[in-house]
Amino acid sequence: MLDPVPCLLDSVPCLLDPVPCLLDPVSYLLDSVPCLFDPVPCLFDLDPVSLKDSTAMNIRFAHKLLLSATLSAAALFQSSSALAQDYPSRNITMVMPYAAGGPGDIITRLFASAMQKQLGQTIVVDNPAGAGGSIGTAKVARSAPDGYTLLMIHISHATNVLMIKNLPYSPIDDFEPIGLATVGPMVVTGRKDLPTKDAKEFIAYIKDNASKISMGHAGIGSASHLCSLMFMDALDVKLTLVPYKGAAPAINDLMGGQIDIMCDQTTSTLPAISGGRIKAYAVAGTQRLPGLPDLPALTEVGVKGFDISIWFGLYAPKGTPKPIIDKLSAALAAAVVDPDVKAKLESISTTAVSPDLAVPAKLRAHLKNEIETLGPLLIKSGITPN
């Protein structure tokens, strides 16, 4: 008597290539179709006649189960394909898990507007801010994987898993990457009445008055939080960090003098810098910016090993069908080359990625690399999940 378990295990490859396995499909097709609706009688067809020839029974059992699984998989594939053909048939929600009016919100609304032209449906931006972006991110992770709830998020998607204890999702396992969207620099700024006129004086002032200086950021795990940690590490100082629910309220307090300094992306800081409401001291990296040519990079004033940029990527909940992911990725790739999108991003010293980066594989690899790279940095800074 053949043991049915090895037969079933050996038959698994048939799900990928069923033709060679189904040696005599016609004789089993009609008998196997009912198993899709009521498999119990098929699995326990152990009448005396069948038992007389257990070998034939076991082979028949394996064929029935295999064909049922194959037909079910085919039906599921056809259902996913049909769903993708109809997608989208209603409004899409794009979650930006930081405060409205902040840099992430500006970028998200820009891409939502461009992508809805490609998809033919309205994309509504939602801002469930808080907990370093993890509240809104968790909301997307719990959403139905149907392409109608998306997540636009920046580098915090890589850092939150390293900084927030008991994070209610996995940035890698609970999301389907769609593609990268933008990359942009960050700038170190101060309140307008800070008693320093340039970057060298600023650095000296920070070192001499570290215990008295407050540094705001957009929330635990945000890019500006990471920049703050890197800034303190590079200068070997301990400042008072003040978290906010997004960049916009932090910058408002910087303009009002409630905090002393901040490091954030140009998307949010440039308007206040241009209007003279805050001071810009240096680019948080190694190169000057075309939009701020007189602003030195921190490396120019002796701050070594400090280079950070902020990127944004688009995700869907895990299990979203590949045809839908492909359609969304195509819309994103069209958005990054949209002349209006590029012009508006350049006006805030941010750059849309090239279309070859607006794809799932590139974002997946980039996220994994960021987690592996930033982990040791956060450990060195003394940061532990909290």
What confidence tens digit (pLDDT) does each residue in 337-349 have? Answer: 999 999 999 888 8
- Amino acid 71: pLDDT: 56
Give the residue extent of every domain in the chain. Answer: 4-86, 92-183+312-380, 185-309
Residue 50 CA to residue 57 CA, distance in Å, equals: 6
Beta strands (DSSP E) in 81-192 are 92-95, 123-126, 149-153, 175-191
Q: Is 169 exposed, middle or buried (0-12, 13-18, 19+ CB in 10 A)?
A: buried
- Amino acid 23: pLDDT: 38
Quick check: do 92-183+312-380 and 185-309 share a fold?
Answer: yes
Looking up tokens 């997307």, which residue turns up?
A: 140
Contact 99, 130 (CB under 8 A): no
Mean pLDDT of 290-309: 87
Listed range (16-25, 306-315, 352-361) with the worst mean pLDDT: 16-25
> Cα dist. 165→135, 161, 162 in Å?
13, 8, 8
Residue 174 has pLDDT above 60, yes or no: yes
Tens digit of pLDDT for each residue in 120-159?
Answer: 999 999 999 988 889 999 999 999 999 999 999 998 899 8
At 16, is the pLDDT very low, low, confident or very high (cuts 50, 70, 90)? very low
Helices (H), 189-246: 199-208, 223-235
How, if at all, do strands 351-352 and 175-191 pair? Answer: antiparallel
Residue 154 CA to residue 265 CA, distance in Å, equals: 11
- Amino acid 281: pLDDT: 97
Select 92-183+312-380's CATH number: 3.40.50.2300, 3.40.190.150, 3.30.200.20, 3.20.190.10. 3.40.190.150
At 26, is the pLDDT very low, low, confident or very high (cuts 50, 70, 90)? very low
Residue 308 CA to residue 184 CA, distance in Å, equals: 9
Assigned token pair, 119: 């998809």
- Amino acid 19: pLDDT: 38
List Cβ neighbours of 240 (8 Å cut-off, separation of 6 or more). Answer: 213, 214, 215
- Amino acid 13: pLDDT: 41
Stronger pLDDT, 203 or 1, i.e. the higher one? 203
90 φ, ψ (degrees, to nearest 5): -155, 180
Residue 189 CA to residue 272 CA, distance in Å, equals: 10
Residue 42 has pLDDT above 80, yes or no: no
Residue 236 CA to residue 206 CA, distance in Å, equals: 10
Residue 28 has pLDDT above 50, yes or no: no
At 7, is the pLDDT very low, low, confident or very high (cuts 50, 70, 90)? very low
Tell me what percent of the residues of the chain surpass a pLDDT of 70: 78
Mean pLDDT of 31-55: 43
Q: CA 10, 14, 32: angle at the middle one, nearest 5?
A: 100
Residue among 326, 253, 303 nearest 84 (CA): 326
Residue 159 CA to residue 219 CA, distance in Å, equals: 12
Tens digit of pLDDT for each residue in 80-112?
Answer: 566 668 999 999 999 999 889 877 899 999 999
At 5, is the pLDDT very low, low, confident or very high (cuts 50, 70, 90)? very low
Tens digit of pLDDT for each residue in 219-247?
Answer: 876 788 889 988 998 899 999 999 998 88
Residue among 112, 182, 187 nearest 350 (CA): 182
Stronger pLDDT, 307 or 23, i.e. the higher one? 307
Q: CA 225, 231, 234: angle at the middle one, nearest 5?
A: 145
Q: Is 59 exposed, middle or buried (0-12, 13-18, 19+ CB in 10 A)?
A: middle
- Amino acid 245: pLDDT: 84
Looking up tokens 């968790």, which residue turns up?
A: 138
Give the total residue count for the chain.
Answer: 386
Tell me what percent of the residues of the chain surpass a pLDDT of 90: 55
**What fold, for 185-309?**
D-Maltodextrin-Binding Protein; domain 2 (3.40.190)
Assigned token pair, 200: 């060298």
Contact 185, 349 (CB under 8 A): yes
- Amino acid 66: pLDDT: 55
Stronger pLDDT, 34 or 208, i.e. the higher one? 208
SS3 2: coil
Mean pLDDT of 46-53: 44
- Amino acid 20: pLDDT: 38
DSSP label at residue 200: H
The helix-helix angle for 156-163 and 223-235 (nearest 10°) equals 70
At 197, is the pLDDT very low, low, confident or very high (cuts 50, 70, 90)? very high
Stronger pLDDT, 161 or 259, i.e. the higher one? 259
Average model confidence (pLDDT) for the chain? 82
- pTM given for the model: 0.69
Mean pLDDT of 173-179: 98
- Amino acid 273: pLDDT: 95
Question: Dmax over Cα atoms in the chain, in whole Å?
Answer: 97
